[in-house]
Every structure is written in structure tokens, then in C-alpha cells.
Amino acid sequence: MSHEIVQLLYLVAAVLFVVGLKRLGSPATARQGNLLSGAGMLLAIGITLVEVGSMPHAPGTPGANPALVWGVIGGGVLLGSGLGLWQARAVKMTSMPQMVALLNGFGGGASLVVGAAEFLKAHETGQNIPLETGVVMQLSLLIGAVTVTGSAIAFAKLQELMSGKAITFPLQNPTNLVIFLVTLALAGWQVSTDVPLMAPFLGVVVAGLVLGVLLVIPIGGADMPVVISLLNSYSGIAAAMTGFVIDNEVLIISGALVGSSGIVLSSIMW
């Protein structure tokens, strides 16, 4: 498949995302909006499957076997679709907030994994990371990590797996600030050098995971819907950053749509 056709189909998928999001603005068209957005995602996955499977790879690498590539991606599509179908049918409407929280965590986790995979690939091959790629990679790792653990805590509170009350401790805000500043310093250390370094990479990931927990535990269960909306925005922003890392336009567009709509919704709820 030519590059021009791939870009055109990605554009069609992006248009379906935009139209689907618009349709979600009214209960009368929300079902149609869901279907359009789902069709856009299915198209994007299908294009990626064909494009990645047809890319040239060095002999002896996993990517050199198209059947293996298609099998891994196809297996992921089937597993994810099966889990999504089960959730849609089994989860009650009253439990929808915690399901959305869990899905936000999955989205953030996906961005974290892709960003980490790109970093580790560069680390293993000794490949230099350009400045602009390094910046968005660090953002993908940090925001993705915060979204994973933050969404997990939100899910646990709503599902009553842990106390829904605000959990606080002395010097909580200064502690959060120190961890955030340390995370920025580690990210700056990594970005300031072209060579992939394992220490700041692990530091950013671990600090992001810890921040996700510390930022959500002091929020009570009654305010969890706002937190979930904000984490939804985080998952979109992380996806957009990941799109810049792997140079995927449809991921950038879809992530930006989720990020901006999540921020707007959070502002309305506040």
C-alpha cells in the first residue's frame, strides 16, 4: 500500500473520529457517534496492520516475518475486542464510571508501553534520540505513567476496593512538588543528551507511577467523576505525544481530540 493511500485512509479515520465526537453531543445521535468513532478506530487499526506488516525489516529481526507481525497485532485486536464486548455487555450502567476509569488507565498504559518500547529500541541499538523526539517521549512516559496509577486508584475508590475518603498525610503537597521537580530534572537530563540513558528513563517512569497515586488519593469519591474526566484528558494527551514519537498522524489527531474534549468536560464539571 502506497504512503499516499495510507495517509488518505488515516485522514478518513480522523474525520470519523471528529464526526463521531460531534454526534456524542446529543442523546439522540450518541449511538451513531459511537459507531462512527468505532469504525474510525477499526479503519486505523486495519491500516496499521497492513502498513506494519508490509514494512521492510532487517533479516533475523521479528519484523522480518510478516506473518508474525500480523499474528501479534491480530491477536491483540481479537483479545481487546473480546474484552471490550464483554465489558459492554456485563458492566451495569451504575458501574460505568469505574469502567471508564479503568479504560483511561489502559489508554495511558498503552502510551507508556509504546514510549518505553521506542526508548528501549534506541537504547539497544545505540541510536541517538533527536531533541524533539526526546521531549515528546518523556511527556509520553510521564503522562502515561500518571494516568495508569491515577486511574487505578480512581477505579479502586469507586469500586470500593479501598476507602473512598480523602487520604492525606503531612507535607503531602510539598512531597508531590518535590517528586514532580525531580521528574522534570530526570527528563531534562535525558533530553539534554542524545544517548539513551537507562537511569533517567527508569526514574521518570517510577516517579510518574508514584505521582499518579499521590495525586488521586487525597480526592474523595464524590469528586471522582471530575478526576476520571481529567485522567481521560491525560490519556489522550499521552496518546498524542506517542503519535509524535512514532510519527503516526491518526494517533496524534485522536489523542488531541480526547485530550481537548476531556479538558473541556473537566472545566464544565468543575
Extents of the domains making up the chain: 1-90, 94-270
pLDDT in tens, 161-200: 888 888 888 999 999 999 999 999 999 999 998 788 899 9
pLDDT in tens, 74-133: 888 889 889 888 988 888 888 888 888 888 899 999 999 999 999 999 998 888 888 889
pLDDT in tens, 22-74: 898 888 999 999 999 989 988 988 887 777 656 655 555 555 566 777 788 78
The fraction of the chain above a pLDDT of 70, given in percent, is: 94
Q: What's the whole-number mean pLDDT along residues 237-243?
A: 92
**Which residues neighbour 183 within 8 Å (Cβ) at sequence distance 6 or greater?**
142, 203, 204, 207, 208, 211
- Cβ burial of 103 (10 Å; 0-12, 13-18, 19+) is middle
At 64 the pLDDT is 57
What does the block give as the cell for 157? Answer: 475508590
